[in-house]
Homo-oligomer: A and B are copies of this chain.
Protein backbone atom coordinates (compact mmCIF):
# COMPACT_ATOMS: atom_id res chain seq x y z
CA UNK A 1 0.00 0.00 0.00
CA UNK A 2 1.24 3.45 -0.89
CA UNK A 3 0.63 6.45 1.31
CA UNK A 4 -1.84 7.70 -1.19
CA UNK A 5 -3.80 4.48 -1.14
CA UNK A 6 -3.95 4.66 2.64
CA UNK A 7 -5.15 8.22 2.36
CA UNK A 8 -7.84 7.20 -0.12
CA UNK A 9 -8.84 4.42 2.24
CA UNK A 10 -9.14 6.84 5.17
CA UNK A 11 -11.06 9.35 3.06
CA UNK A 12 -13.44 6.67 1.86
CA UNK A 13 -14.11 5.38 5.36
CA UNK A 14 -14.93 8.87 6.53
CA UNK A 15 -17.10 9.79 3.54
CA UNK A 16 -19.04 6.53 3.54
CA UNK A 17 -19.67 6.70 7.29
CA UNK A 18 -20.80 10.30 6.91
CA UNK A 19 -23.09 9.34 4.03
CA UNK A 20 -24.68 6.61 6.12
CA UNK A 21 -25.36 9.09 8.92
CA UNK A 22 -27.01 11.43 6.43
CA UNK A 23 -29.13 8.62 5.00
CA UNK A 24 -30.50 8.04 8.50
CA UNK A 25 -31.81 11.61 8.47
CA UNK A 26 -34.73 10.19 6.47
CA UNK A 27 -35.86 8.55 9.69
CA UNK A 28 -35.43 11.89 11.40
CA UNK A 29 -37.68 13.68 8.92
CA UNK A 30 -40.16 10.82 8.99
CA UNK A 31 -40.61 11.11 12.74
CA UNK A 32 -40.33 14.88 13.02
CA UNK A 33 -43.08 15.23 10.43
CA UNK A 34 -45.25 12.34 11.61
CA UNK A 35 -45.06 13.79 15.11
CA UNK A 36 -46.10 17.27 13.99
CA UNK A 37 -49.08 16.05 11.96
CA UNK A 38 -52.26 14.20 12.79
CA UNK A 39 -52.84 10.63 13.83
CA UNK A 40 -54.99 9.91 10.82
CA UNK A 41 -52.02 10.56 8.51
CA UNK A 42 -49.22 9.03 10.57
CA UNK A 43 -48.40 6.04 8.37
CA UNK A 44 -48.51 8.14 5.22
CA UNK A 45 -46.30 10.91 6.57
CA UNK A 46 -43.74 8.55 8.06
CA UNK A 47 -43.78 6.16 5.11
CA UNK A 48 -43.30 8.85 2.48
CA UNK A 49 -39.64 9.18 3.42
CA UNK A 50 -39.01 5.61 2.37
CA UNK A 51 -40.81 6.33 -0.89
CA UNK A 52 -39.08 9.58 -1.74
CA UNK A 53 -35.62 8.38 -0.84
CA UNK A 54 -36.27 5.51 -3.20
CA UNK A 55 -37.29 7.90 -5.96
CA UNK A 56 -34.32 10.18 -5.33
CA UNK A 57 -31.88 7.26 -5.35
CA UNK A 58 -33.03 5.88 -8.68
CA UNK A 59 -33.23 9.25 -10.40
CA UNK A 60 -29.90 10.32 -8.98
CA UNK A 61 -28.32 7.14 -10.30
CA UNK A 62 -29.80 7.57 -13.76
CA UNK A 63 -29.20 11.28 -14.30
CA UNK A 64 -28.76 13.32 -11.13
CA UNK A 65 -25.18 12.48 -10.29
CA UNK A 66 -24.06 13.05 -13.86
CA UNK A 67 -25.81 16.40 -14.03
CA UNK A 68 -24.34 17.46 -10.72
CA UNK A 69 -20.80 16.11 -10.72
CA UNK A 70 -20.13 14.66 -14.14
CA UNK A 71 -17.61 16.56 -16.21
CA UNK A 72 -19.38 19.34 -18.06
CA UNK A 73 -19.58 23.10 -18.23
CA UNK A 74 -20.39 25.81 -15.70
CA UNK A 75 -24.12 25.17 -15.90
CA UNK A 76 -24.48 21.41 -16.04
CA UNK A 77 -22.63 18.12 -15.92
CA UNK A 78 -22.80 16.19 -19.16
CA UNK A 79 -21.29 12.81 -18.35
CA UNK A 80 -21.61 9.99 -15.88
CA UNK A 81 -25.24 9.03 -16.27
CA UNK A 82 -26.17 5.53 -15.03
CA UNK A 83 -22.45 5.02 -14.37
CA UNK A 84 -20.56 1.82 -15.07
CA UNK A 85 -18.75 -0.26 -12.48
CA UNK A 86 -15.36 1.00 -13.64
CA UNK A 87 -16.40 4.64 -13.42
CA UNK A 88 -17.59 4.01 -9.89
CA UNK A 89 -14.47 2.19 -8.73
CA UNK A 90 -12.04 4.71 -10.23
CA UNK A 91 -10.60 7.47 -8.04
CA UNK A 92 -10.34 11.03 -9.33
CA UNK A 93 -10.91 10.03 -12.94
CA UNK A 94 -13.45 11.22 -15.50
CA UNK A 95 -16.39 11.45 -15.44
CA UNK A 96 -16.09 12.01 -11.70
CA UNK A 97 -12.80 13.84 -11.56
CA UNK A 98 -14.57 16.11 -9.10
CA UNK A 99 -13.88 13.54 -6.42
CA UNK A 100 -10.13 13.62 -6.31
CA UNK A 101 -9.40 11.16 -3.55
CA UNK A 102 -12.36 8.85 -3.09
CA UNK A 103 -13.88 6.34 -5.51
CA UNK A 104 -16.78 7.60 -7.63
CA UNK A 105 -19.09 5.19 -5.80
CA UNK A 106 -18.35 6.82 -2.47
CA UNK A 107 -18.96 10.20 -4.05
CA UNK A 108 -22.31 9.02 -5.40
CA UNK A 109 -23.34 7.64 -2.03
CA UNK A 110 -22.49 10.87 -0.25
CA UNK A 111 -24.27 13.04 -2.80
CA UNK A 112 -27.40 10.92 -3.20
CA UNK A 113 -28.23 11.13 0.49
CA UNK A 114 -28.02 14.92 0.21
CA UNK A 115 -30.48 14.86 -2.66
CA UNK A 116 -32.71 12.74 -0.46
CA UNK A 117 -32.56 15.25 2.39
CA UNK A 118 -33.40 18.17 0.11
CA UNK A 119 -36.38 16.26 -1.24
CA UNK A 120 -37.51 15.30 2.26
CA UNK A 121 -37.76 18.98 3.18
CA UNK A 122 -40.18 19.63 0.32
CA UNK A 123 -42.95 17.47 1.76
CA UNK A 124 -42.99 19.09 5.18
CA UNK A 125 -44.97 22.04 3.85
CA UNK A 126 -47.11 19.85 1.61
CA UNK A 127 -48.02 17.43 4.38
CA UNK A 128 -51.48 15.93 4.90
CA UNK A 129 -53.06 16.88 1.56
CA UNK A 130 -50.93 15.87 -1.44
CA UNK A 131 -51.86 12.90 -3.61
CA UNK A 132 -49.56 9.91 -3.47
CA UNK A 133 -48.49 9.94 -7.12
CA UNK A 134 -47.20 13.48 -6.68
CA UNK A 135 -44.40 12.11 -4.53
CA UNK A 136 -43.24 10.08 -7.50
CA UNK A 137 -43.65 12.74 -10.15
CA UNK A 138 -42.41 15.81 -8.32
CA UNK A 139 -39.82 13.74 -6.50
CA UNK A 140 -38.21 12.94 -9.82
CA UNK A 141 -38.49 16.49 -11.14
CA UNK A 142 -37.07 18.06 -8.00
CA UNK A 143 -34.14 15.65 -7.93
CA UNK A 144 -33.14 16.92 -11.36
CA UNK A 145 -33.57 20.57 -10.36
CA UNK A 146 -31.54 19.95 -7.23
CA UNK A 147 -28.77 18.30 -9.23
CA UNK A 148 -28.40 21.29 -11.53
CA UNK A 149 -28.06 23.77 -8.70
CA UNK A 150 -25.65 21.56 -6.80
CA UNK A 151 -23.53 21.59 -9.98
CA UNK A 152 -23.48 25.38 -10.00
CA UNK A 153 -22.25 25.65 -6.43
CA UNK A 154 -20.30 22.49 -5.70
CA UNK A 155 -18.95 21.10 -8.94
CA UNK A 156 -15.46 22.32 -9.86
CA UNK A 157 -16.13 24.97 -12.50
CA UNK A 158 -19.75 25.47 -11.57
CA UNK A 159 -20.53 29.11 -12.28
CA UNK A 160 -21.34 30.09 -8.70
CA UNK A 161 -18.44 28.00 -7.50
CA UNK A 162 -16.18 30.08 -9.73
CA UNK A 163 -17.41 33.23 -8.00
CA UNK A 164 -16.34 31.54 -4.77
CA UNK A 165 -19.76 31.05 -3.25
CA UNK A 166 -19.35 29.53 0.18
CA UNK A 167 -21.93 26.86 0.98
CA UNK A 168 -19.95 24.28 2.89
CA UNK A 169 -22.60 21.61 3.22
CA UNK A 170 -25.66 23.11 1.61
CA UNK A 171 -27.65 25.77 3.47
CA UNK A 172 -28.48 26.97 -0.01
CA UNK A 173 -28.08 23.86 -2.12
CA UNK A 174 -29.97 21.50 0.15
CA UNK A 175 -32.13 23.41 2.61
CA UNK A 176 -33.02 26.66 0.88
CA UNK A 177 -33.76 24.75 -2.32
CA UNK A 178 -35.96 22.26 -0.50
CA UNK A 179 -37.81 25.12 1.16
CA UNK A 180 -38.38 26.91 -2.14
CA UNK A 181 -40.10 23.85 -3.56
CA UNK A 182 -41.96 23.42 -0.28
CA UNK A 183 -43.24 26.98 -0.57
CA UNK A 184 -44.36 26.42 -4.13
CA UNK A 185 -46.17 23.28 -3.06
CA UNK A 186 -47.86 24.90 -0.07
CA UNK A 187 -49.06 27.78 -2.24
CA UNK A 188 -50.50 25.49 -4.90
CA UNK A 189 -52.07 23.02 -2.49
CA UNK A 190 -53.64 25.67 -0.32
CA UNK A 191 -54.20 25.25 3.42
CA UNK A 192 -55.50 22.09 5.03
CA UNK A 193 -59.22 22.01 5.74
CA UNK A 194 -59.73 23.83 9.00
CA UNK A 195 -56.37 25.57 9.10
CA UNK A 196 -57.98 28.98 8.68
CA UNK A 197 -61.31 29.96 10.18
CA UNK A 198 -63.71 32.09 8.11
CA UNK A 199 -62.35 35.10 9.91
CA UNK A 200 -59.14 34.12 8.11
CA UNK A 201 -57.42 33.57 11.43
CA UNK A 202 -55.06 30.61 11.57
CA UNK A 203 -56.14 27.73 13.79
CA UNK A 204 -53.64 25.51 15.55
CA UNK A 205 -53.62 21.96 14.24
CA UNK A 206 -51.44 20.26 16.83
CA UNK A 207 -49.37 17.31 15.71
CA UNK A 208 -50.21 14.06 17.39
CA UNK A 209 -46.96 12.94 18.96
CA UNK A 210 -44.35 15.26 20.45
CA UNK A 211 -42.00 12.43 21.47
CA UNK A 212 -41.84 11.43 17.80
CA UNK A 213 -40.87 15.00 16.96
CA UNK A 214 -38.14 14.93 19.60
CA UNK A 215 -36.81 11.63 18.30
CA UNK A 216 -36.85 12.98 14.77
CA UNK A 217 -34.92 16.07 15.82
CA UNK A 218 -32.28 14.09 17.69
CA UNK A 219 -31.87 11.74 14.73
CA UNK A 220 -31.42 14.79 12.50
CA UNK A 221 -28.87 16.30 14.86
CA UNK A 222 -27.07 12.94 14.86
CA UNK A 223 -27.17 12.71 11.08
CA UNK A 224 -25.94 16.28 10.72
CA UNK A 225 -22.58 15.10 12.01
CA UNK A 226 -22.33 13.30 8.70
CA UNK A 227 -23.89 16.15 6.78
CA UNK A 228 -21.48 18.93 7.71
CA UNK A 229 -18.22 17.25 8.73
CA UNK A 230 -18.62 14.75 5.89
CA UNK A 231 -18.63 17.58 3.40
CA UNK A 232 -14.88 17.84 3.82
CA UNK A 233 -14.98 14.78 1.54
CA UNK A 234 -11.80 13.60 3.18
CA UNK A 235 -9.60 13.57 6.26
CA UNK A 236 -7.27 16.37 5.24
CA UNK A 237 -8.50 19.85 4.39
CA UNK A 238 -6.05 22.49 3.24
CA UNK A 239 -3.24 20.84 5.13
CA UNK A 240 -5.23 20.40 8.32
CA UNK A 241 -5.52 16.74 9.25
CA UNK A 242 -8.88 15.95 10.86
CA UNK A 243 -10.38 19.33 9.99
CA UNK A 244 -13.78 17.60 9.92
CA UNK A 245 -13.53 17.40 13.71
CA UNK A 246 -13.57 21.18 13.82
CA UNK A 247 -16.57 21.26 11.49
CA UNK A 248 -18.37 18.91 13.86
CA UNK A 249 -17.61 21.29 16.72
CA UNK A 250 -19.10 24.35 15.07
CA UNK A 251 -22.10 22.27 14.00
CA UNK A 252 -22.74 21.11 17.54
CA UNK A 253 -22.30 24.56 19.08
CA UNK A 254 -24.77 26.06 16.63
CA UNK A 255 -27.34 23.33 17.27
CA UNK A 256 -26.97 23.80 21.01
CA UNK A 257 -27.42 27.55 20.74
CA UNK A 258 -30.41 26.94 18.49
CA UNK A 259 -32.15 24.68 20.98
CA UNK A 260 -31.60 27.12 23.83
CA UNK A 261 -32.52 30.01 21.59
CA UNK A 262 -35.67 28.34 20.33
CA UNK A 263 -37.10 27.55 23.74
CA UNK A 264 -36.07 30.87 25.31
CA UNK A 265 -37.36 33.00 22.46
CA UNK A 266 -40.61 31.03 22.44
CA UNK A 267 -40.87 31.52 26.19
CA UNK A 268 -40.49 35.26 25.81
CA UNK A 269 -42.26 35.91 22.53
CA UNK A 270 -44.99 33.25 22.60
CA UNK A 271 -45.12 33.22 26.41
CA UNK A 272 -44.74 29.43 26.53
CA UNK A 273 -41.54 27.33 26.26
CA UNK A 274 -43.02 25.48 23.29
CA UNK A 275 -41.26 22.15 22.84
CA UNK A 276 -41.86 22.12 19.10
CA UNK A 277 -40.22 25.53 18.84
CA UNK A 278 -37.17 24.28 20.71
CA UNK A 279 -36.93 21.51 18.13
CA UNK A 280 -37.41 23.96 15.28
CA UNK A 281 -34.69 26.09 16.86
CA UNK A 282 -32.24 23.22 16.77
CA UNK A 283 -33.06 22.48 13.16
CA UNK A 284 -32.96 26.10 12.04
CA UNK A 285 -29.56 26.44 13.69
CA UNK A 286 -28.28 23.33 11.97
CA UNK A 287 -29.60 24.59 8.66
CA UNK A 288 -27.88 27.95 9.15
CA UNK A 289 -24.53 26.56 10.23
CA UNK A 290 -24.53 24.19 7.28
CA UNK A 291 -23.13 26.84 4.94
CA UNK A 292 -20.82 28.31 7.55
CA UNK A 293 -19.55 25.32 9.51
CA UNK A 294 -16.14 25.17 7.84
CA UNK A 295 -15.60 28.90 7.61
CA UNK A 296 -16.44 30.44 10.96
CA UNK A 297 -15.12 30.57 14.50
CA UNK A 298 -16.89 28.88 17.42
CA UNK A 299 -18.42 32.09 18.79
CA UNK A 300 -19.79 32.90 15.34
CA UNK A 301 -21.31 29.41 15.21
CA UNK A 302 -23.09 30.07 18.48
CA UNK A 303 -24.34 33.41 17.22
CA UNK A 304 -25.47 32.01 13.88
CA UNK A 305 -27.34 29.21 15.64
CA UNK A 306 -29.06 31.48 18.13
CA UNK A 307 -30.18 33.98 15.50
CA UNK A 308 -31.40 31.15 13.27
CA UNK A 309 -33.59 29.92 16.11
CA UNK A 310 -35.00 33.41 16.60
CA UNK A 311 -35.75 33.60 12.90
CA UNK A 312 -37.57 30.27 13.01
CA UNK A 313 -39.64 31.03 16.08
CA UNK A 314 -40.72 34.39 14.72
CA UNK A 315 -41.16 33.29 11.13
CA UNK A 316 -43.32 30.21 11.71
CA UNK A 317 -46.34 32.29 12.80
CA UNK A 318 -45.55 34.95 10.21
CA UNK A 319 -45.70 32.45 7.36
CA UNK A 320 -49.12 31.44 8.65
CA UNK A 321 -50.19 35.05 8.79
CA UNK A 322 -49.51 35.17 5.05
CA UNK A 323 -52.13 32.46 4.67
CA UNK A 324 -49.58 29.74 3.96
CA UNK A 325 -50.16 26.43 5.71
CA UNK A 326 -46.78 24.88 6.41
CA UNK A 327 -47.42 22.11 8.95
CA UNK A 328 -43.76 21.46 9.76
CA UNK A 329 -42.40 24.94 9.27
CA UNK A 330 -40.19 24.03 6.32
CA UNK A 331 -40.31 27.50 4.83
CA UNK A 332 -39.18 29.16 8.05
CA UNK A 333 -36.80 26.50 9.34
CA UNK A 334 -35.12 25.44 6.11
CA UNK A 335 -35.82 28.47 3.94
CA UNK A 336 -35.28 31.58 6.04
CA UNK A 337 -32.68 29.94 8.26
CA UNK A 338 -30.93 28.76 5.10
CA UNK A 339 -30.85 32.30 3.78
CA UNK A 340 -29.54 33.56 7.09
CA UNK A 341 -26.84 30.91 7.18
CA UNK A 342 -25.72 31.64 3.66
CA UNK A 343 -25.49 35.37 4.29
CA UNK A 344 -23.94 34.90 7.73
CA UNK A 345 -21.09 33.04 6.05
CA UNK A 346 -20.47 36.11 3.96
CA UNK A 347 -20.30 38.09 7.18
CA UNK A 348 -18.31 35.85 9.51
CA UNK A 349 -16.09 33.74 7.25
CA UNK A 350 -12.54 33.79 8.61
CA UNK A 351 -10.02 34.52 5.87
CA UNK A 352 -7.76 31.79 7.22
CA UNK A 353 -10.49 29.18 7.06
CA UNK A 354 -11.66 30.34 3.63
CA UNK A 355 -8.09 29.65 2.55
CA UNK A 356 -8.08 26.29 4.30
CA UNK A 357 -11.30 25.22 2.65
CA UNK A 358 -10.13 26.87 -0.56
CA UNK A 359 -13.41 28.53 -1.42
CA UNK A 360 -14.09 32.29 -1.54
CA UNK A 361 -12.67 34.88 0.81
CA UNK A 362 -13.04 36.20 4.32
CA UNK A 363 -16.35 37.73 5.33
CA UNK A 364 -17.32 41.38 5.64
CA UNK A 365 -16.54 41.44 9.33
CA UNK A 366 -12.90 40.54 8.78
CA UNK A 367 -12.09 41.87 5.35
CA UNK A 368 -14.35 44.88 5.33
CA UNK A 369 -15.05 43.86 1.74
CA UNK A 370 -18.65 43.14 0.78
CA UNK A 371 -17.46 40.83 -1.98
CA UNK A 372 -18.17 37.53 -0.29
CA UNK A 373 -21.49 38.74 1.08
CA UNK A 374 -22.39 39.83 -2.43
CA UNK A 375 -21.52 36.45 -3.86
CA UNK A 376 -23.63 34.75 -1.24
CA UNK A 377 -26.55 37.06 -2.05
CA UNK A 378 -26.09 36.48 -5.75
CA UNK A 379 -26.27 32.75 -5.16
CA UNK A 380 -29.45 33.10 -3.14
CA UNK A 381 -31.11 35.20 -5.80
CA UNK A 382 -30.08 32.94 -8.65
CA UNK A 383 -31.05 29.74 -6.89
CA UNK A 384 -34.23 31.31 -5.56
CA UNK A 385 -35.33 32.39 -9.01
CA UNK A 386 -34.44 29.14 -10.71
CA UNK A 387 -35.63 26.60 -8.15
CA UNK A 388 -38.82 28.39 -7.20
CA UNK A 389 -39.77 28.91 -10.82
CA UNK A 390 -38.97 25.37 -11.81
CA UNK A 391 -40.79 23.91 -8.80
CA UNK A 392 -43.82 26.14 -9.01
CA UNK A 393 -44.05 25.67 -12.75
CA UNK A 394 -43.89 21.91 -12.69
CA UNK A 395 -46.24 21.56 -9.72
CA UNK A 396 -48.63 24.03 -11.35
CA UNK A 397 -48.64 21.94 -14.51
CA UNK A 398 -49.16 18.71 -12.62
CA UNK A 399 -51.98 20.36 -10.73
CA UNK A 400 -53.67 21.61 -13.89
CA UNK A 401 -53.32 18.25 -15.55
CA UNK A 402 -54.40 15.88 -12.79
CA UNK A 403 -54.79 17.82 -9.57
CA UNK A 404 -52.20 17.36 -6.85
CA UNK A 405 -54.51 17.72 -3.85
CA UNK A 406 -56.57 14.86 -2.45
CA UNK A 407 -60.36 15.09 -2.35
CA UNK A 408 -61.73 16.79 0.75
CA UNK A 409 -63.36 13.58 1.95
CA UNK A 410 -60.01 11.82 1.66
CA UNK A 411 -58.33 14.60 3.61
CA UNK A 412 -61.05 14.45 6.25
CA UNK A 413 -60.91 10.68 6.57
CA UNK A 414 -57.14 10.75 6.64
CA UNK A 415 -54.63 9.63 4.05
CA UNK A 416 -53.82 6.41 5.86
CA UNK A 417 -57.21 4.81 5.55
CA UNK A 418 -58.35 6.59 2.40
CA UNK A 419 -55.20 6.26 0.29
CA UNK A 420 -53.39 3.27 1.78
CA UNK A 421 -56.35 1.28 3.02
CA UNK A 422 -55.25 1.00 6.62
CA UNK A 423 -55.03 3.32 9.60
CA UNK A 424 -51.60 4.15 10.98
CA UNK A 425 -52.81 2.99 14.38
CA UNK A 426 -55.47 0.43 13.48
CA UNK A 427 -56.46 -0.45 17.03
CA UNK A 428 -57.54 3.14 17.64
CA UNK A 429 -60.18 2.86 14.93
CA UNK A 430 -61.22 -0.74 14.48
CA UNK A 431 -61.50 -3.62 16.93
CA UNK A 432 -58.48 -5.85 16.33
CA UNK A 433 -58.49 -8.17 19.31
CA UNK A 434 -57.82 -11.59 17.88
CA UNK A 435 -58.38 -10.57 14.33
CA UNK A 436 -61.67 -10.54 12.54
CA UNK A 437 -63.77 -13.61 13.18
CA UNK A 438 -61.67 -14.58 16.17
CA UNK A 439 -64.60 -16.21 17.76
CA UNK A 440 -66.29 -17.26 14.57
CA UNK A 441 -64.11 -20.34 14.32
CA UNK A 442 -64.78 -21.16 17.92
CA UNK A 443 -65.36 -24.78 17.08
CA UNK A 444 -61.90 -25.63 15.82
CA UNK A 445 -59.43 -27.23 18.16
CA UNK A 446 -57.34 -24.39 19.47
CA UNK A 447 -60.02 -21.84 19.59
CA UNK A 448 -62.34 -24.30 21.24
CA UNK A 449 -59.89 -24.88 24.01
CA UNK A 450 -59.79 -21.10 24.07
CA UNK A 451 -63.55 -20.93 24.28
CA UNK A 452 -63.68 -23.09 27.36
CA UNK A 453 -61.04 -21.53 29.56
CA UNK A 454 -60.94 -18.37 31.60
CA UNK A 455 -59.98 -14.94 30.36
CA UNK A 456 -56.67 -13.46 31.43
CA UNK A 457 -56.12 -14.62 34.94
CA UNK A 458 -52.50 -15.67 35.05
CA UNK A 459 -52.99 -17.19 38.45
CA UNK A 460 -55.73 -19.43 37.14
CA UNK A 461 -53.61 -20.70 34.27
CA UNK A 462 -53.06 -24.18 35.71
CA UNK A 463 -56.75 -24.64 36.33
CA UNK A 464 -57.26 -23.37 32.80
CA UNK A 465 -54.88 -25.95 31.37
CA UNK A 466 -56.68 -28.65 33.26
CA UNK A 467 -59.88 -27.60 31.55
Contacts and interface: CB of A to CB of B under 8 A. Distances in A.
A368 interface: no
Contacts of A426: 206-208
- State the oligomeric state as a number of copies: 3
A50 B57 CA distance: 31
A321 interface: no
B21 A20 contact: yes
A211 B46 contact: yes
Contact of A456 (B8, B417, B433, B434): B417
A354 interface: no
Contacts of A217: 50
B13 A10 contact: yes
Given A89-B243, A109-B249, A352-B85, A6 B3 contact: yes
Contacts of A3: 1, 3, 6
A82 to B, nearest CB: 7
Interface stretch (A161-169, A191-199, A379-387): A191-199
B297 A42 contact: no
Nearest to A302: B58
A87 to B, nearest CB: 10
Contacts of A278: 47, 50-51
Contacts of A456: 409-410, 412-414, 417-418
Interface stretch (A70-78, A234-242, A358-366): A234-242
Contacts of A258: 54
Contact of A274 (B49, B55, B61, B422): B422
Contact of A214 (B47, B245, B302, B450): B47
Given A1-B6, A46-B210, 14 more contacts: A12-B245, A15-B245, A30-B214, A47-B275, A50-B218, A57-B256, A58-B257, A61-B302, A105-B245, A194-B433, A208-B426, A211-B424, A272-B420, A412-B456
10 contacts: A1-B236, A8-B242, A12-B245, A27-B222, A105-B248, A192-B435, A194-B439, A197-B440, A207-B426, A209-B424
